[in-house]
Structure 1
């Protein structure tokens, strides 16, 4: 359990650092330019950041499985795409349930969902800023 918590905290910190770095660059771009191409570039930066976070946690699930923290309840062996798919579904808090972790990997899944919720909120704030920038108050 302690191993799963330590891995979760490390993944959380990496995810937060990478996302905030990307959002910081996106904020600076929005502050300089408000045209459609800049907004599209910012949108792609946000998408890339969320995909990177899903990939980080996907790697964490693979590592946790290899480390013996648990497995996934699926009849087939997990591939890198399965880890990424599960992570992407989990980080968005969608949680389809077609693949789910067992044992201590559930801790990582819970931390990932909380992380995803926080990061999506940060992204929403950036989109709000882009949409309202230039409006008179």
Structure 2
């Protein structure tokens, strides 16, 4: 359990740091340009940041499975796409339930969902800023 918590906290910190850095680039871009192309570019930055977070946690789930911290039920074998799919569904807090973690990997899944909720909130704030600044122009 301790190893799963350490892995989860490390991934949380890495995800937050990378997301904030990418959003910072988006804010700076919006500070220089406020046209539609810049807003689309910032939107792609946000999307890529969320993909990066899902990839980080997918690697974490793979490592956890390799370290015998748990596995996944309803999936006889997991390949890279299954780990990414589960991570993407989990980080968005959608949680379909067709694949779910077992044992100590459940801790990692819970931390990922909390991380996703926090990061989606940060992204929503950036989108609100883009829309609000568009009204000022």
> How far apart in 2 are the matches of 1:106 and 1:134?
42
What is the aligned partner in structure 1 of residue 62 from structure 2? 62
What is the aligned partner in structure 1 of residue 86 from structure 2? 86
What is the aligned partner in structure 1 of residue 99 from structure 2? 99
> How far apart in 2 are the matches of 1:75 and 1:17?
32
1:21 aligns with 2:21: yes
Instruction: Provide the TM-score with structure 2 as the length reference.
Output: 0.97
Instruction: Provide the TM-score with structure 1 as the length reference.
Output: 0.97
Kept in 1, the 8 Å contact 2:75–2:99? The answer is: no
What is the aligned partner in structure 2 of residue 116 from structure 1? 116
Following superposition, which runs of at least 4 residues in structure 1 exceed 4 angstroms of deviation? none
The runs of 5 or more residues in structure 2 that have no matched partner are none
What is the aligned partner in structure 1 of residue 10 from structure 2? 10
> How far apart in 1 are the matches of 2:75 and 2:116?
27
> How far apart in 2 are the matches of 1:135 and 1:115?
31
1:52 aligns with 2:59: no
Kept in 1, the 8 Å contact 2:58–2:87? The answer is: yes
The runs of 5 or more residues in structure 1 that have no matched partner are none
> How far apart in 2 are the matches of 1:43 and 1:37?
10
Note closer, same or farther for the CA distance 1:99–1:134 as it changes in structure 2 (3 Å cut). closer
What is the aligned partner in structure 2 of residue 135 from structure 1? 135
What is the aligned partner in structure 1 of residue 125 from structure 2? 125
| Pairwise CA RMSD | 0.8
